[in-house]
Amino acid sequence: MGEAIFRFLFKYPPIAFERGRVTLASGWPVWLLLILALGGAAALGYFLWRQKSRLPLTSKLMVWGAQSITLAILLLLLWRPALVLSSLVPQRNVLAVLVDDSSSMALTDEGDTPRVEQVRQTFADDGALLSELREKFQVRTYTFSDQPRKLTSAADLKGEGKSSRVEEAVGQIYGELRHLPLAGVVVVSDGAQNAGKPSPENLQEMLARKIPIYTLGVGNPQMERDIEVTDIVLPRTALPGSTVTAAVSVRQHGYIGREAKVELREGNRLLKSRTVEFGPSPIETVNINFTPETKGIREYTVVVSPAGGPEPIMENNTQSRVVEVQDRVAKILYIEGEPRWEYKFLRRAMEEDKSFQIASVLRTSQNKFYRQGIENPKELATGIPSMKELFQYDGLILGSIQASFFSPEQQRSIYEFVSRRGGGLLMLGGRMAFADGGYQASTLADLLPVELDNRGATSTLHRLPAKFRLTARGMEKIQINTGTTSDDDAAQLAWEKLPQLTNYQTTGKPKPGAVVLGEGVNEGGDVVPLLIAERFGRGRTALFATDSSWRWQMQMPSEDRSHEFFWRQLLSSMVTETPRFVSVMPEKPLYADEETVRLVGHVYDEQFEPVNAAEAVATVNFPDGSKQEVLMTHSVEEDGVFYGEMKAAPVGIYNVELSAKLADKQIGTSSAYFQRADGVVEHFSPELNALFLARMAEQTGGKYYPLAEAEKLPEQLTYSPAGVSVPEVRDLWDMPLWLLLILLAKGTEWAMRKRWRTV
């Protein structure tokens, strides 16, 4: 509408003035025009001043202004205003038309014609648009999805491509046509660029040559009804029996106030399901907790089903992720200061779990220790290990033992174990724990997730009953296996059945970065934080402020496994993310419609110091059984970090094995997995991405139009600054704007005189 009004007033479209130059074609000097205009205005003012009239001064000035404007316009028209611009020579320039033929172009926007059919109709061989373009240009048509190809006829469009590489396709076509007089590029797409990398050299050269890109958007900018799984956040590794949380992000259009079922599946087996009710927010996050029981590579799939039946696009309601349930043993050192029931039952709870090895040191008397779970007689021979020995463990548990038991050097080792090594530290309640053990004055106070209160006259360990309950965050980390697919209700009931604790310990206010996972409620209704955790440096720290969880085993039926599940999952949360001395990880767990994979490796020595001089080689095992070695290169910006890059074309699950050496001495090995899939991303974010198409056009001096306004292209391209052109002079003296200005000026003068009855 605005462009039509502009064209009516100024005779030509806005782009003609943007690309052209306004001049005076009469050849007469401009200074003469100015002198005549100023002289005429002065003469008019003189005659109005001498005229005897009842008009006040302000009215005389308005009449003078209207007459002066009229005179100036008439004089300007005598000087013949004109527009000088470059006009493309017909049939001397090339126009490239690129049409998106990816799978998203086959979508139907809520009852409309499929997008690809709209393009077929608009660019039909005998249609008006293509005929008009061919009169002015040598039109070369291409189709693109993963790679651009020549397009003989719009009827050949199928909408079956696996990805959309818009900018990459433009760069490749320009590289092919760069030596020809290219007047412009037309891109027809829904803007769903989801793969490929643009060629910056080609695009920069296009900008330098002022070759415009005109974009035509296909589809609706917002789906009327659509549910999409936008992301699944899962840990890449887990230990058997540990609680794993799948954070599922679901985006919706048109489903406010309605429900959908979110299911987590392993193969055909339903693991858990949740129901989500959509509010005004376009994105809802659903957390689904589950427990992998068997080791190996497990593929988990999330399926979202809206209530009321299927929606127009069901392909984006599903996503999958791969988790490695590790076949490894997590080593945990447990240091206990006195014989007690908590020590006995904790060890017993973990005995059957082969994913953990609990090595313990129990102080039986002064300078005497009882060792259990050791691999050889030399292990923990001195009771408390050195820093080098401590770094061989993944986690550390401190029981009821005073801070003064540890020397300053040993306290520093524990601090470095968490902050530098990345190990997990759990401190248990007891009569010699926390402030009662003097930890508030030790180096270890910094590790704890609470600000320890100074010990007063009485003990912080209260021998009073308290009911333990998990917070909402705690339910995400620790669960009791109920054997059902319904998450929260059954798990909450299982927790409520557990007997009360016989004591609880007050520790202090949680630190700003800490998370309260569990609370104790005493008989007076007071709520005390009992299970608190936080991240510290590379590691994690937690405290469990009681020593009576053993009652969950003693006072429940023998077949009840709640006590075992609690400790297995609490310890798993401590050590699952403890870094290894040598590790490797792809930058992304899933490479959807993307073949370039970047590997990231970390190499540390026994003191967990980075080894920059290591020789790191990754062996990639392809899904078809073939192998490829990737030499990892040390990062110049990060110590101990190595990068490698490879091409992964076949779809499937890849295994990466990293081996690190230093001077022919083996430092360590590690492995990881990633998944490759094709034809996935085309159905995600299916709405028209008009912003991307408009930005691409504006950056090059082109313009974006919806496909329905494609008939504007031929005229727009006529004024292209690129290609073979000739100068052209177009008259502006007959613009309707001049007549409107004169009528406005004279009408103002007449109205003023009429008001004062002088006409």
Residues 492-529 pLDDT 10s: 777 888 899 999 999 999 999 999 999 999 988 899 99
What's the pLDDT at 480? 64
Query: Which range is most confident: 59-68, 83-92, 140-149?
Result: 140-149
Q: Check whether 257 has a pLDDT greater than 60.
A: yes
Q: Check whether 701 has a pLDDT greater than 70.
A: yes
What's the pLDDT at 447? 95
Between 151 and 748, name the one with better pLDDT: 151
CATH code for 91-222+687-710? 3.40.50.410
Query: Which range is most confident: 48-57, 129-138, 477-486?
Result: 129-138
**At 645, which amino acid appears?**
E
Q: Check whether 430 has a pLDDT greater than 50.
A: yes
Mean pLDDT over all residues of the chain?
A: 86
At residue 483 the predicted structure's pLDDT band, cuts being 50, 70 and 90, is very low
CA-wise closest residue to 82 among 736, 732, 734: 732
- Which range among 131-140, 243-252, 382-391, 673-682 shows the weakest confidence by mean pLDDT? 673-682
- Which range among 38-52, 118-132, 310-324, 641-655 shows the weakest confidence by mean pLDDT? 38-52
- Alpha carbons 44 and 65: distance in angstroms, whole number: 9
Q: Quick: pLDDT tens for 270-318.
A: 988 889 999 888 898 888 888 887 888 899 999 998 887 777 778 888 9
- Do residues 695 and 619 touch, judged by C-beta distance below 8 A? no
What's the pLDDT at 757? 61
What's the pLDDT at 529? 95
Cα–Cα separations (whole angstroms), residue 631 to 448, 598, 618, 648? 41, 12, 6, 16
CA angle 202, 192, 701 (to 5 degrees): 45
How is the chain split into domains, by residue range? 2-87+728-755, 91-222+687-710, 226-325, 330-575, 582-681
- Do residues 241 and 293 touch, judged by C-beta distance below 8 A? yes
Q: Check whether 228 has a pLDDT greater than 60.
A: yes
Between 466 and 17, name the one with better pLDDT: 466
Q: Check whether 482 has a pLDDT greater than 50.
A: no
- Do residues 135 and 92 touch, judged by C-beta distance below 8 A? no
Cα–Cα separations (whole angstroms), residue 654 to 60, 126, 579? 88, 50, 21
- Quickly name the fold that domain 330-575 has: Rossmann fold (3.40.50)
Handedness of CA 167, 164, 718, 152 (dihedral sign): positive
| Backbone torsions φ then ψ of 221, nearest 5 degrees | -70, -15
What's the pLDDT at 314? 82
**The two three-digit tokens of residue 331, written as one number:** 């080593």
CA dihedral 165, 171, 173, 175 (to 10 degrees): -150
- Alpha carbons 515 and 450: distance in angstroms, whole number: 10
CA angle 372, 336, 239 (to 5 degrees): 65
Q: Quick: pLDDT tens for 571-620.
A: 988 998 899 999 999 998 888 878 899 999 999 998 899 999 999 999 99
Instruction: Give the pLDDT mean for 48-74.
Output: 77
3.40.640.10, 3.40.190.10, 3.40.50.720, 2.60.40.10: CATH of 226-325: 2.60.40.10
- Alpha carbons 604 and 612: distance in angstroms, whole number: 9
- Alpha carbons 329 and 373: distance in angstroms, whole number: 13
CA angle 203, 204, 206 (to 5 degrees): 65
What's the pLDDT at 515? 94
Instruction: Give the pLDDT mean for 330-341.
Output: 93
What's the pLDDT at 672? 92
What's the pLDDT at 759? 44
pTM for the complete prediction?
A: 0.72
What's the pLDDT at 486? 44
3.40.350.10, 1.10.10.10, 2.40.37.10, 2.60.40.1930: CATH of 582-681: 2.60.40.1930
What's the pLDDT at 197? 66
Between β-strands 665-677 and 652-662, what pairing exists: parallel, antiparallel or unpaired?
antiparallel
* Secondary structure of residue 350 in the 3-state scheme: helix
- Do residues 522 and 504 touch, judged by C-beta distance below 8 A? yes
At residue 52 the predicted structure's pLDDT band, cuts being 50, 70 and 90, is low
What's the pLDDT at 735? 86
Q: Check whether 484 has a pLDDT greater than 60.
A: no
Domains 91-222+687-710 and 582-681 share a fold: no
DSSP conformation class of 380: T
Q: Quick: pLDDT tens for 550-572.
A: 999 998 888 888 898 899 889 98
Share of the chain above pLDDT 70, in %: 95
- Do residues 213 and 170 touch, judged by C-beta distance below 8 A? yes
